[in-house]
Amino acid sequence: MLIGVISDTHIPERATEIPTIVSTIFKDVELILHAGDLVSNTVIHELENLAPTICVQGNMDRRYGLKFPKNEIINVNNIKIGLNHGEVYPRGDTQQLKYIGLELGVDVLITGHSHVPFIKEIDKMILLNPGSPTVPRMTEPTVMLVDVDENGLEAEIIKIGDSTCKSLNFRRR
C-alpha cells in the first residue's frame, strides 16, 4: 500500500493552498495520512479528492474548533501504524515520541508539529515526520511517501519547491 503523508498545512492561517505539486506526488497513493494542524476543513476535502484521508487533531486545529481524534491506528500488512500530531516539547523530541508510540502499541509512529521532516528508528520503532509543505521550519517544504508491503516498509521524504522534487529514502525490509 502506498501512503501519502502530510502535516502542518495551516491553511488558510499561514498559507493559501497546498502546493499543486503535492497532487502529482500523491497521484498513486491509496491512502493519505495528515498528522494535524490543517486549521480548516478545506484541506481534508482537497486531499480526499486524491485518496481516502485520515486526519488527527493538531494543537492549532483545537484553536479553530476542528474535531479530529487525537490518535489513529491503522494496520497495513501486519505493520501497526500510529498517527498523532506529536505535541511534545521540545518539538520533535524522539524519546517522548517513542513513548507515545509505545502507549499506542505501534511499530511506526507518524507525527508532525515540528515542521521538520525526519525518519528515525529507535529501539525497533520507526518514527516518521513528513515536515510541512507550506510552512517548514529551517528546511525546504516536504511531504512523505510510505510504501508498506509484505516485505516491510519504505519511507521517502520528498522535498518540494519550484515544481521540483528531491528524495531521501529509508528502507526497512
Architecture category of domain 2-172 in CATH: 4-Layer Sandwich (3.60)
Q: What is the pLDDT of residues 130-169, one digit of tens each?
A: 999 999 998 999 999 999 998 899 999 999 976 666 776 7
Residues 62 and 43 sit within 8 Å (Cβ to Cβ):
no
Confidence of residue 125 (pLDDT cuts 50, 70, 90): very high
CA distance 33 to 131: 13
Tell the residue number behind the cell numbers 520528498, with chain if given.
158
Kind and range of the H or E run holding 154: strand 152-161
pTM of the model: 0.94
How confident is the model over 114-120, as a mean pLDDT? 96
pLDDT of residue 87 exceeding 70? yes
* pLDDT over 80 at 32, yes or no: yes
Local confidence band at 72 (pLDDT 50, 70, 90 cut-offs): very high
Q: What is the DSSP letter of 128?
A: E
State the average pLDDT over residues 85-90: 94
pLDDT for the residue numbered 169: 73
Digit-coded pLDDT (tens) for 1-16: 999 999 999 999 999 9
Q: Please give the average per-residue pLDDT across 108-123, as a whole number.
A: 96
How many whole angstroms separate alpha carbon 25 and alpha carbon 158? 9
pLDDT (mean) for 8-37: 96
Contacts of 24 (CB under 8 A, 6+ apart): none
User: For 105-126, what is the mean pLDDT?
Assistant: 96
Query: Cα–Cα distance between 117 and 102 in angstroms, integer?
Result: 21
Determine how many CB atoms are found less than 10 A away from the CB of residue 12.
12
pLDDT of 173 strictly over 70: no
pLDDT of residue 126: 96
- Tell which residue, 34, 46, 35, 43, has the closest CA to residue 12: 43
Tell me, what's the pLDDT at 162?
63
